């Protein structure tokens, strides 16, 4: 459905959403299915609460919103008034989620100066802060959706996200303003592994997997190496990394 800016606003008011941006998350969900029905969701920069409303409708898990500005109460949603970019402030937000979230959302925008270079740099910095939150808050295999302005810093930020997630896409929802420079980075499959694709390692095969592949371990992370036997020491290249295990091939 194509609607102009006022059209999305009127639709949000008619359907009870606090912000037109709710439709951006709905369109991201329709395309990428980032929130499952039992997921715990942490929303950074959540005021006024449009994304919280959508998240609450999508999951029976916990939903927590985080913002410097006050968020009017929502049923079945916890809110925390604090600056998520400051270290050490996440503990209160993560408590209702059992210490970790399955999905981290961030639709936050920086304070705009009117200087494009400055505003772009601030947007990338804010997006990096959201990515850093994942280290403390996101479950292995979890998902991240974060807004960032396009510009010279965008490709570098995208590369950073790709080092931490299995699947990464840039997406511009239909509900975004036509001339907006905003882009949503949709990252799925958070990887906490001590290795990355392309790494070359020397390993020992210590076990055999259920499919007959040799198993090596790197700091308790499992690497499956086809065609190898227990007791072999060899050099391998990592070819695929998933949330809890990976695959390598002998060099």
Tell me the domain boundaries of the chain.
5-190, 200-250
CA 108 to the chain's CA centroid: 14
Q: Taking residues 209-227, report their average pLDDT.
A: 92
What tens digit of pLDDT does each residue of 115-158 get?
888 889 999 999 999 999 998 899 989 999 999 998 899 999 99
Q: Which residues of 149-186 are buried (b: 16+ CB within 10 A; e: fewer)?
A: bbbebbeebbebbbebbbebeeeebebbeeeebbbbbb
Helix, strand and coil content of the chain, in percent to the nearest 5, comes to 30, 30, 40
5-190: CATH homologous superfamily? Vaccinia Virus protein VP39 (3.40.50.150)
What tens digit of pLDDT does each residue of 67-112 get?
999 999 999 999 999 888 887 778 877 888 888 999 999 999 888 7
What tens digit of pLDDT does each residue of 178-202 get?
667 889 999 999 988 888 888 999 9
Q: Return phi, psi of residue 130, to 5°.
A: -65, -40
What pTM, to 2 d.p., does this model score? 0.80
Q: Return phi, psi of residue 224, to 5°.
A: -90, 130
Residue 176: pLDDT above 80? no
Would you please indicate which residues are annotated as catalytic (active-site) residues? 147
Name the DSSP letter for residue 189: E
CB neighbour class for 109 (10 Å; exposed up to 12, middle 13-18, buried from 19): middle
Q: List, in order, residues 6 or more apart from 113 with CB less than 8 Å away.
A: 119, 122
β-strand 101-106 against 138-149: which pairing, if any? parallel
Residue 4: pLDDT above 70? no
The tokens for 233 are 């020491």
Q: List, in order, residues 6 or more apart from 6 with CB less than 8 Å away.
A: none
Residue 229: pLDDT above 90? yes
Give SS3 for 46: coil
CATH number, domain 200-250: 2.40.50.140
Q: The sheet that has 78-81: what strands, in order across it?
A: 78-81, 63-67, 41-44, 101-106, 138-149, 182-190, 165-171
């Amino acid at each position: 459905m194509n609607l102009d800016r006022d059209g999305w606003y009127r639709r949000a008011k008619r359907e009870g959403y606090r912000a037109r941006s709710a439709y951006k998350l709905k369109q991201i969900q329709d395309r990428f299915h980032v929130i499952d029905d039992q997921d715990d969701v942490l929303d950074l920069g959540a005021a006024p609460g449009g994304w919280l409303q959508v998240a609450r409708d999508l999951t029976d898990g916990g939903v927590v919103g985080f913002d410097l500005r006050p968020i009017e109460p929502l049923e079945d949603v916890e809110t925390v008034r604090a600056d998520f970019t400051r270290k050490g402030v996440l503990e209160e937000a993560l408590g209702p989620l059992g210490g970790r979230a399955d999905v981290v959302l961030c639709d936050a925008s920086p304070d705009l100066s009117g200087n494009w270079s400055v505003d772009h740099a601030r947007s990338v910095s804010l997006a990096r802060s959201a990515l850093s939150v994942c280290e403390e808050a996101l479950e292995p295999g979890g998902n991240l959706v974060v807004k960032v302005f396009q510009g010279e810093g965008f490709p570098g930020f995208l590369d950073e996200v790709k080092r931490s997630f299995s699947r990464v896409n840039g997406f511009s929802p239909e509900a975004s303003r036509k001339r907006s420079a905003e882009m949503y980075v949709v990252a799925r499959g958070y990887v906490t592994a001590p290795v990355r694709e392309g790494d070359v390692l020397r390993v020992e095969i210590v076990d055999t997997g259920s499919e007959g592949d040799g198993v090596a371990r790197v700091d308790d992370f499992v690497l499956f190496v086809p065609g190898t036997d227990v007791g072999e020491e060899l050099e391998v290249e990592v070819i695929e990394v998933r949330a809890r295990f990976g695959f390598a091939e002998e060099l």
